[in-house]
Amino acid sequence: MAAPSVIPSPPGAGLAPANGGTGRRGRHEGGRPITAWIATIADEDAAPDLAAALEAARAPSGAVGNVMRVHSLRPRTMLGHHALYMSVLHYDGNRLPAWFQEAIASWVSILNACGYSLANHFANARHLIGDDARADAILAALEAGRPEDCFRGAELSMLRYAAKLTREPAAMAEGDVDDMRRHGVDDGRILEVNQICGYFNYANRVLNGLGVTLEGDAIGYYVEAGDAEARRCGNGKRAG
């Protein structure tokens, strides 16, 4: 599917936490930032099972994001989380355009007021869209709760499905799936939308529920090792 036409970006539009705030400042303990409300373990202190999980969870930048490191005390859940994340968003067999997968991720994260996921995944969307004015307009529409300002047809139907599943899961009906089919979305792509929505409802709750911050993270997936330091966050923003 082609990227939708979009409205011009408003003045000052740009990436921001979902709740519009800056969050709390990062605290430090023993010289290291505290990145969550529970203990996490640094690479150099990791036992062999955790060291293996951290290695598996490294991003292209070589870093392990706090979204994964928060699982330090239970390495198996880190492995499970990472496997689900990669299959939902970074599997070559997925058929939704990668930029639109990240737009769905950002939309669900906005609905859940999860600034951590929004910061990372709209950075990904912006990179994949490759047009800052278009990206700004999409972000403005999603943050305003008006995806119809930028999306039409199949894309809008999928975003509406994701919004209802996030806000009113018990109210879902077969007609919600039928509406996507009427707009030409096949069942495989419907499953992809469902899985992106389900994954981000999980991840947003992990992040918000454990107070995970962006402290020390290199923002976005598409960051090479040489660029990681420039993209590293040091403002202590919390997940929500």
pLDDT for 154-167, tens place per residue?
A: 999 999 999 999 99
Indicate whether 148 pLDDT > 90.
yes
Q: Report whether 207 contacts 114 (CB < 8 A).
A: yes
Q: Is residue 238 part of a domain?
A: no
Q: Which residues pair with 212 in a beta bridge?
A: none
Residue at 54: amino acid letter: L
Q: Is residue 174 part of a domain?
A: yes
Q: Is residue 153 part of a domain?
A: yes
Q: Is residue 75 part of a domain?
A: no
Residue at 234: amino acid letter: G
Indicate whether 204 pLDDT > 60.
yes
Q: How many angstroms separate the most distant Cα atoms in the chain?
A: 57
Phi first, then psi: what are they for 101, rounded to 5°? -55, -45
Indicate whether 81 pLDDT > 90.
yes
Q: Structural domain tally of the chain?
A: 1
Q: Where are the alpha helices (DSSP H) in 18-74?
A: 48-56, 66-69
**Closest C-alpha to 219, from 194, 237, 196, 202:** 237
The stretch 229-233 carries a mean pLDDT of 72
Q: Is residue 79 part of a domain?
A: no
Q: Is residue 37 part of a domain?
A: no
pTM: 0.85
Q: What percentage of the chain exceeds 90 in pLDDT?
A: 78
Phi first, then psi: what are they for 218, rounded to 5°? -90, 115
Q: Is residue 14 part of a domain?
A: no
Indicate whether 13 pLDDT > 50.
no
Q: Report whether 210 contacts 229 (CB < 8 A).
A: no
The stretch 215-222 carries a mean pLDDT of 92
Domain that holds residue 169: 98-209
pLDDT at 33 (0 to 100)? 67
What is the rounded CA–CA span in Å between residue 70 and residue 151? 35
CATH number for the domain including 140?
A: 1.20.1290.10
Q: Label residue 167 exposed, middle or buried (CB < 10 Å: 0-12, 13-18, 19+).
A: exposed
Q: Is residue 66 part of a domain?
A: no
pLDDT tier at 228, thresholds 50, 70, 90: low
